[in-house]
Amino acid sequence: MKETVLDRFLRYVKIDTQSKEDSDTYPSTQKQFDLLNLLVKELKELGIQDVNIDKYGYVIATLPSNIPPTDKSYQKVPSVGLIAHVDTSSSASGENVKAQVITYNGGDIVLPGDASVIIRETENPELKKCIGKTIVTSDGTTLLGADNKAGIAIIMTAIQSLLNNPKILHGNIKVGFTPDEEIGNGTKYFDLKKFGAEVAYTVDGDAIGELNKETFSANSAIITVHGRNIHPGTAKGIMVNSIRAMADIIVRMPKDIAPETTEGYEPYIHPHVLKGEEEKTTLNILLRDFKTEGLDTLKEKLVKIIEEVKPLHPKARIELEIKESYRNMREGLEKEPRVIECLFEATKRTGLDPRWVPIRGGTDGSRLTAMGLPCPNIFTGGHNFHGKTEWISLWGMEKSIETVLNLIQVWVEKSRD
């Protein structure tokens, strides 16, 4: 197989792999197996012998070291993991994706499937770097799925390059493809011992040259308002409308600590799923702060809001539940500085100006690092994830492949120092 990264990417995005947050199965959707099983097949076709998929959907494969056993440094080169997730966000449809491959010549991009969906130059400064280059978008009716099918295509193409160029020395390369990352469960049943990597990298980042060693610390909050329903014609003094109570809660949420009003290291409270009727209304909320202790402050803001609303709706019952999602991976990565040093050096060798950028979100690497496997994040060249204006640079994907190949060689060199 001598496919390009674009060939692979276009094939993968056609497969609907959306995960589902309120599912009671793992993976949360069976359709994720469509891509997972395809990846098993393709890895075997590349010539990888050690490929497995388990009942949870984890695909694990090994490209064995090609360093001569007589080389004294053989035992010093760590097994390096490369990880990407197959699922896409539920924020926009991932079914029947029609990818558009275009040469970008500047200006706004009006997507052909829905002229109201526009990738605006003013909102996407990275587009200027892509003038005269190939980019890929959806047709505007779905998301594209670059998050994280670009990462999958990059890893698969990097493995193909190593097989085609045996003169590139490398230690054991461990490949991992996971489901359900978008709903925070990508590593729920991930077996580190079975995976066998000593260090790892997720290929799940954004702009070209951006590297990530910090994520938010994250909790999820669920506010539930219990009311009482009765026919509206005889409701006076009896009905307790949970929707009205929830509306009073939502209107009191601080607007200055929302995703749309914050950036950089600023925390936020983000209501993102609302379901309800008179009897019962639930609101799902994301709590995010780079300082883990800051999550308690965000929780207290919600508690204060609820206490303000209770007297306005004395017959309603209001509950708040907090669940831990993931934690900032920086502390874990600082314990093994070579993991980020090697990545920075590899990106420089690619001819880019690498820069550490905090992720205003999380990756599988957040939990893997907390579990004991240091796992920073590598760029893919993608932008506007989770929405219909998602796009990716082919040049960015190619530079990501180059970075991965350099990274593997840097580890060999550093291990011999």
- We report the CATH number of the domain holding residue 50 as 3.40.630.10
Supply the pLDDT for residue 184.
87
The tally of domains found in the chain comes to 2
CA nearest neighbour of 283 among 241, 231, 220: 220
Q: Which of 272, 305, 326 is the last residue of a domain?
A: 326
Q: Do residues 211 and 232 both lie within one domain?
A: no
Domain match, 254 and 200 both: no
> Tell me, what amino acid is at 11?
R
Q: Can you give the residue range of the structural domain that contains 307?
A: 217-326
Block means of pLDDT (10 residues each) for the chain, 417 residues, are 91 98 94 98 96 98 91 79 97 96 98 98 96 98 98 98 95 97 94 97 97 95 98 96 98 97 96 96 97 97 98 98 93 92 98 95 90 97 97 98 98 84
Say whether both 258 and 395 belong to one domain.
no
Strand order in the sheet with 59-63: 50-53, 59-63, 173-178, 80-85, 199-203, 377-378, 210-212, 355-356
Give every CB contact of residue 91 below 8 A, 6+ residues apart in sequence. 143, 386, 387
Residues 28 and 115 in one domain: yes
Q: What is the C-alpha to C-alpha distance for residues 153 and 131, in angstroms, rounded to an integer?
A: 23
Query: How many whole angstroms separate alpha carbon 207 and alpha carbon 325?
Result: 25
Residues 290, 230, single domain; the answer is yes
For residues 20 and 136, membership in a common domain is answered with: yes
Boundary of a domain, candidates 266, 297, 326: 326
Alpha-carbon span 133 to 416, nearest angstrom = 39
Considering the domain architecture, whether residues 265 and 148 belong to the same structural domain is answered as no
How far is it, in rounded angstroms, from Cα 4 to Cα 190? 29
Do residue 51 and residue 163 come from a single domain? yes
Q: Which of 281, 296, 326 is the last residue of a domain?
A: 326
| Cβ contact 390:143 at 8 Å | yes
Catalytic residues: 87, 181
| CATH label of the domain that carries residue 239 | 3.30.70.360
Cis geometry, peptide bond prior to residue 96 (ω within 30 degrees of 0): no
pLDDT score recorded for residue 101: 98
CA 294 to chain centre: 22
